[in-house]
Amino acid sequence: MIRLLIVEDSQVVQELLYYIFSSDPEIKIVGTAKDGIEALEKAGQLKPDIITMDINMPNMNGIETTKKIMGTNPIPIVIISASYHTKDVEHTFNAMDAGALAVLSKPTGINDPDFENVAKELISVVKAMAEVKLVRRWTKPDNSSNVNGLKIIERKQNIPKIKAIAIGASTGGPIVLQKILSGLPQNLSVPILIVQHMSEGFIQGFIEWLNHSSSIHVQLGQQGEIPLPGHAYVAPDGLHMGIDRNGRIDLVNDKPINGLRPTVSYLFRSVANVLGENVIGVLLTGMGADGAEELKLMKEKGAVTIVQDKESSVVFGMPGEAVKIGAETYILSPENITSLLTQLTNNIN
């Protein structure tokens, strides 16, 4: 039984969340709180397995509350936000800096045609995040993988010219992407294409949040745009993103793949077919199996493929599925992914 504390200042939304989560027999709601101060008290008293956290609250907002909880007695926290204004969404992602694991949109009501899908996503993510018993911030040196200049130089003759990096991520991905992008050099010699699973309405704020900490310029992918070196392009809401035969960004409104649009699978298949061995594929933390088979396709076409290691992944679903089928060239921590991407692009090109 998963013990859940709901933190939400709106009585209407609080009751709606209570209705959604209480519908699952594996979730027990142990309490509710209307602001950050009450949340801190109840988190200590009730000792929940997971907390859903509002951002804009009186007395103490969700960011400060998350910081205090993570700084004293860490508990997995999922942010549930209603505001899609870019600046507000940026503040929402600041809660991930404080240790929150995921950001989801608030349900609008049981009469909404998409209510059932939103409810399923909320339940699915909360149940998955409740299993994360320790929030790792990747501050320790990682000795699990030996990535150094000598190893890459030895492989030099086998690595063709890199023309792009393709990255896929889902649950837990935003903070890892921030870590990777902030560590890459401004003069990176190739563009980066990114698919990050995210609730609709949060992408632009997510991009602005990334731009605050990265020397890589991050922007929304635009139809027909030529990807530039040192720039990262994020797939927009509701569209698959790939590249066409001329190397331009291609956005399509094809049917969802495994219920997802955009998907990592579409991006990886696209770059595999167009760029072949001249691309690097990176699959990060996330639930499910999106991108695993297509990462293997990339490897079969000669591309270097990287998956995030289990220790640093919030959810080892997507990278774990890739490892099961042998889709990876390397299994690495976020720090070592950054190091390898820098070496492969700047040393080889």
Q: Would you say residue 73 lies in a domain?
A: yes
Between CA 9 and CA 78 the distance in angstroms is 15
Q: Clarify whether residues 205 and 321 are in a common domain.
A: yes
CA 241 to chain centre: 16
Domain extent for 206: 149-348
Q: Would you say residue 316 lies in a domain?
A: yes
pLDDT of residue 80: 92
Six-digit token pair at 199?
């609730």
pLDDT of residue 35: 96
pLDDT of residue 135: 45
Among residues 9, 81, 91, 170, the one annotated as catalytic is 170
pLDDT of residue 151: 52
pLDDT of residue 88: 65
pTM of the model: 0.87
Among residues 290, 309, 313, 339, the one annotated as catalytic is 290
Q: Clarify whether residues 159 and 115 are in a common domain.
A: no
- Quick check: 285 and 216 in contact, CB under 8 A? no
Between CA 320 and CA 281 the distance in angstroms is 15
Identify which of 313, 321, 249, 311 has the alpha carbon closest to the alpha carbon of residue 290: 321
Report the domain count for the chain. 2
Residue 160 belongs to domain with CATH number:
3.40.50.180
Q: Clarify whether residues 106 and 180 are in a common domain.
A: no
pLDDT of residue 93: 84
Q: Clarify whether residues 158 and 196 are in a common domain.
A: yes
Residue 26 burial class via C-beta count within 10 angstroms: exposed 0-12, middle 13-18, buried 19 and up: exposed
- Quick check: 211 and 178 in contact, CB under 8 A? no
E strand or H helix at 176: helix 173-183
CA dihedral for 275, 324, 334, 66, sign (positive or negative):
positive
Q: Would you say residue 106 lies in a domain?
A: yes
E strand or H helix at 117: helix 115-129
> Is 197 one of the catalytic residues?
yes
3-state helix, strand, coil in the chain (%, to 5): 40, 20, 40
> Is 85 one of the catalytic residues?
no
Q: Would you say residue 140 lies in a domain?
A: no
Q: Would you say residue 193 lies in a domain?
A: yes
Q: Clarify whether residues 153 and 58 are in a common domain.
A: no
pLDDT of residue 96: 85
Helix, strand, or coil (residue 336) = helix
Six-digit token pair at 249?
């960004």
- Quick check: 229 and 188 in contact, CB under 8 A? yes
> Cα torsion for 69, 70, 74, 77, to the nearest 10°?
80
Q: Kindly report whether the peptide bond that precedes residue 236 is cis, defined as omega within 30 degrees of 0.
A: no
Q: Clarify whether residues 84 and 156 are in a common domain.
A: no
Between CA 292 and CA 301 the distance in angstroms is 15
Q: Clarify whether residues 116 and 199 are in a common domain.
A: no
From the CA atom positions of the chain, what is the Rg in Å?
Answer: 20
pLDDT of residue 92: 80
pLDDT of residue 201: 84
The residue among 62, 95, 129 that closes a domain is 129
Residue type, 162: I
Among residues 105, 197, 214, 309, the one annotated as catalytic is 197
Between CA 341 and CA 332 the distance in angstroms is 11
Q: Would you say residue 139 lies in a domain?
A: no
pLDDT of residue 42: 97
Q: Would you say residue 312 lies in a domain?
A: yes
Residue 39 belongs to domain with CATH number:
3.40.50.2300
The residue among 129, 159, 185 that closes a domain is 129
Helix, strand, or coil (residue 193) = strand
Q: Clarify whether residues 166 and 285 are in a common domain.
A: yes
pLDDT of residue 85: 61
> Is 290 one of the catalytic residues?
yes
Residue with tokens 């950001």: 103
Q: Clarify whether residues 55 and 182 are in a common domain.
A: no
Q: Clarify whether residues 94 and 8 are in a common domain.
A: yes
DSSP-assigned letter for residue 157: G
| Backbone phi and psi for residue 312, each to the nearest 5 degrees, phi listed first | -95, -10
The residue among 129, 159, 188 that closes a domain is 129
pLDDT of residue 150: 37
Q: Would you say residue 138 lies in a domain?
A: no
Q: Clarify whether residues 160 and 122 are in a common domain.
A: no
- Mean pLDDT per 10-residue run, the chain (349 residues)? 96 96 97 96 96 93 93 91 67 84 88 90 93 53 44 55 96 93 94 94 90 93 97 97 97 93 98 97 95 98 96 93 97 95 77
Identify which of 347, 270, 342 has the alpha carbon closest to the alpha carbon of residue 306: 342
Q: Clarify whether residues 58 and 192 are in a common domain.
A: no
